[in-house]
């Protein structure tokens, strides 16, 4: 069981990297908990979570080899 | 004339004025067009607590942004009688004074072109996963906030 | 930065895309600008009872139009925080597919630029003594009607 | 007493010229009457009258050497 995590924008200032692989998590909440354990500043950061390019707003089962993205507020244009 | 395939809107670096001119020129063969509306975003040398912004470095979740832009495009074409719409957004470094966004809508009559352009600009700023990192004095940075 | 002297807005013949590009390029030194809004009017090859429109021949009561445009400009600058505004309108013959009107507003933020551009276009169409004679098949003509 | 009259747009299809000099009229109504006598189609044409570049809506005294313009509906842009 493996999930690819993409980190964008100001969140990369916290993580220091833009992509990581996480194993042994089965839901989005478990993933966020694991990441926040590693990067405590994520706890107060503002972002939404996208699973395979769709924003999710509640705890969701993560398929094997899925991609989760952490998206801070957009600032294009 | 909705286009069904997601188009790439991203371009490395600033959008040159010559590119905008070529895009305008191409429409001279489309003789049902009566009005074009264009929005250009330009990087401001904002004064911040850390110093003056010299450039913005844009990054995006490209695949997701292109899918989202495709949906916005379909909505806008369904709502307004447009002849065409073109959107270009910079990635990478764009210096202050340079163009980072080019939205271009055309229609038989001005109202549709103008309203569609404005709505596209508002939606893409709110909905596309794109981020701007404001570079300050070449050393420091802060993250752009859209209002 | 309201400009006090009436500017000439008229130009013989169509407005080339290269002219528009130069105008955009000139603004790269103004680093407080965050957004540009541009409206372009393009001559349509409309089908009429008499045939297809091949060109529009524009005439104006120039002196009165420039005075009126000056008042519109002052109103718009009083209403919106613009960095600048440029207006160009063709006189003489403009072929179908060519540009006859170029309105260009710039501001620190997009809303002011977009709203000022739209309002300027609406006002100049309603208030400037300018007339378009639609040339049909090189022989016949009819007079353009603004809606 | 002389007034310059400028004719614009579709009204030139009626008059065949874009400028004429009129003498011996002292008000805007007298001028329009005189012009409509010469060009009867003006009676049904749609236009406003400008005296020295200002639109007038009622009978106005015409100063010597003033300029009156007949302005059909605008169609710029």
Q: CA C37, CA C111: separation in Å to the nearest integer?
A: 9
8 A C-beta contact, residue C85 and residue C76: yes
Nearest-CA neighbor of B89 among B36, B12, B4, B145?
B12
Q: CA B49, CA B2: separation in Å to the nearest integer?
A: 45
* All partners of chain A with 3 or more CB pairs under 8 angstroms: B
CATH code of A2-71, in short, is 3.10.20.30
Q: Mark yes or no for CB contact B61/A74 under 8 Å.
A: no
Interchain CB contact of B145 with A (< 8 Å): yes
Minimal-distance CA residue of chain C relative to D71: C129
Per residue in D36-66, pLDDT tens? 999 999 999 999 999 999 999 999 999 999 9
What pLDDT sits at residue C4?
58
Per residue in B78-133, pLDDT tens? 999 999 999 999 999 999 999 999 999 999 999 999 999 999 999 999 999 999 99
Write out the H or E segment, with its range, that includes residue B11: strand B10-12
Per residue in D7-31, pLDDT tens? 999 999 999 999 999 998 999 999 9
The residue extents of the domains of chain B are: 10-143
Q: Mark yes or no for CB contact C125/D76 under 8 Å.
A: yes
Virtual CA dihedral for C6, D47, D29, D63, nearest 10 degrees?
Answer: 10
A29's CB contacts (< 8 A; 6+ apart) are A59
pLDDT range class, residue B76, cuts 50, 70, 90: very high
Note the pTM of the prediction, 2 decimals.
0.95
8 A C-beta contact, residue B120 and residue B75: no
Q: CA C10, CA C112: separation in Å to the nearest integer?
A: 25
Strand pairing partners for A63? Answer: none
Nearest-CA neighbor of A58 among A29, A33, A36?
A29
| A–B interface: beta-carbon pairs under 8 A | 64
From the candidate CATH numbers 3.90.1170.40, 3.90.226.10, 3.40.50.620, 1.20.120.80, the one assigned to the domain spanning C10-143: 3.90.1170.40
């Amino acid at each position: 069981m493996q999930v690819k995590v993409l980190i964008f924008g100001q969140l990369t200032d916290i993580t220091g990297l833009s992509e990581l692989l996480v194993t042994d998590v089965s839901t989005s909440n478990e993933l966020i908990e694991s990441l926040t354990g590693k990067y405590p500043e994520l706890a107060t950061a503002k972002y939404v979570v996208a699973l395979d390019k769709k924003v999710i707003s509640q705890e969701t089962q993560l398929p094997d080899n899925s991609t989760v993205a952490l998206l801070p507020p957009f600032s294009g244009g | 004339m909705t286009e069904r395939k997601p188009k790439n809107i991203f371009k490395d670096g600033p959008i040159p004025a010559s590119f905008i001119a070529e895009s305008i020129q191409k429409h001279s063969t489309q003789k049902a067009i009566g009005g074009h509306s264009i929005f250009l975003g330009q990087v401001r040398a904002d004064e911040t607590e850390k110093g003056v912004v010299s450039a913005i470095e844009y990054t995006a979740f490209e695949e997701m942004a292109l899918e989202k832009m495709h949906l916005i495009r379909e909505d806008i074409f369904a709502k307004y009688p447009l002849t065409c719409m073109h959107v270009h957004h910079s990635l990478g470094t764009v210096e202050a004074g340079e163009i980072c966004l080019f939205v271009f809508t055309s229609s038989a009559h001005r109202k549709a072109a103008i309203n569609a352009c404005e709505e596209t600009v508002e939606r893409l700023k709110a909905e596309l996963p794109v981020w701007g990192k404001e570079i300050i004095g070449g050393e420091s940075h802060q993250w752009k906030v859209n209002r």
